[in-house]
Homo-oligomer: A and B are copies of this chain.
Amino acid sequence: MKIESLTNIHVKHWVKLREKKYRDESGLFLIEGDHLLNEALQKGVVKEIVSNDSSWKKENIPFYEVTPAILKKISHQISSTKVVAVCEKVKEKTIKGNICILDCIQDPGNLGTIIRSCVAFGIDTLVVSQDTVDVYNEKVIRASEGLFFHLNIVRKNLPLFLEEIKKDDYLLLGTDVKNGKCLESIEINKKYAILMGNEGKGVQKALASKCNEMVNISMSNSCESLNVAVATSIILYSLNNRKKALK
């Protein structure tokens, strides 16, 4: 049966999933488009598929046919989204391997881009602070280009977490644009965790004091700092290259 009313109870539910509070309560989130749907299907997290085109039906997954107006109302994209799916949040897994840690990242595009680079450069777990933007924000998911589903993402109290991993024999690196050691001079001979700070403020002093080394990226004096997603990606790229050279 096709849903045609914008005030239908299902439509209200889907629209509410655009809010963080409701995603937190329900443990569900929305994705849009065929690329993300395919990734989510592979991951087995799709609970409902919503489209105006019944060719999006999949076996064993509830399908809701809706009008284009409803699809427009529940999707974020300006261009016409053809399919939306309700997914259950991915379970946090045990933290292992190399880690990227984000403290208070505010921009969803930056978080999504960092997720993509983590997958590209050998990071097993991304740990985000309590005040980092919601991982299930649709802009994060979109900017991650579906790689969102390929990474273990865990939300933690960072001061406690940093103490924990230091006991676990990680090399804990932070960034310091002014006083850090040159990134290329850092010797990598064990598992590493790289801590990146907020867009405007960088790594907090209280967290920096817990790091084994503070690093910086060599750059021109005209440039005070890089975009945080760029800085994170350059560091992950450099560490990953050295890790490979070790093998």
CB interface residues, A 129-173, toward B, < 8 Å: 143, 145, 147, 150
Q: Does A217 contact B (CB under 8 A)?
A: yes
A223 in contact with B109 given A233-B233, A237-B234, A244-B218 (CB within 8 Å): no
A56 interface contact, C-beta 8 A: no
B147 to A227, Cβ gap below 8 A? no
CA distance A168 to B244 in the complex (A): 37
A62-70, A88-96, A113-121: which one contacts chain B?
A: A113-121
Tell me how far the C-beta of A40 lies from the nearest C-beta in chain B, rounded to whole angstroms.
15
Residue from the set A120, A224, A229, A233 with the largest chain B CB neighbour count within 10 Å: A120
**Separation in Å of the A7 CB from the closest CB of chain B?**
30
Q: Are B226 and A117 in contact (CB under 8 A)?
A: yes
List of B residues within 8 angstroms of A230 by Cβ: 113, 116-117, 229-230, 233
Question: B233 near A226 (CB under 8 angstroms)?
Answer: yes
Quick one: closest B residue to A143, CB to CB? Answer: B227
Q: How far is the CB of A207 from chain B (nearest CB, A)?
A: 23
Return the chain B residue nearest A147 by Cβ: B223
Complex partner residue of A217 from B143, B227, B237, CB under 8 angstroms? B237
Known contacts being A227-B113, A227-B143, A233-B234, is A219 close to B184, with CB within 8 Å? Answer: no
Secondary structure class of chain A's binding surface, majority of residues: helix
Q: How distant is the Cα of A217 from the Cα of B217 in the complex, in angstroms?
A: 18
User: Which residues of chain A from 220 to 238 have a CB within 8 Å of any chain B CB?
Assistant: 220, 222-227, 229-230, 233-234, 237
- How many residues belonging to A are interface residues under a CB distance threshold of 8 Å? 31
Distance of A230 Cα from B143 Cα, bound (Å): 12
Give the shortest distance, in Å, between A246 (CB) and chain B (any CB). 14
CA separation between A147 and B121, bound complex, in Å?
A: 28
The complex places the Cα of A220 from the Cα of B120 at a distance, in Å, of 5
In the complex, chain B residues whose CB is within 8 Å of the CB of A109: 109
> A209 within 8 Å of B by Cβ?
no
Inter-chain contacts of A117 with B (CB < 8 A): 226-227, 230
Q: Is A241 an interface residue (CB 8 A)?
A: yes
Chain B, residue nearest A231 (CB):
B233
A113 vs chain B, min Cβ distance (A): 5
Beta-carbon contacts under 8 Å, A196-231 to B: 217-220, 222-227, 229-230
CA distance A122 to B219 in the complex (A): 8
* Minimum C-beta distance from A4 to chain B (A): 34
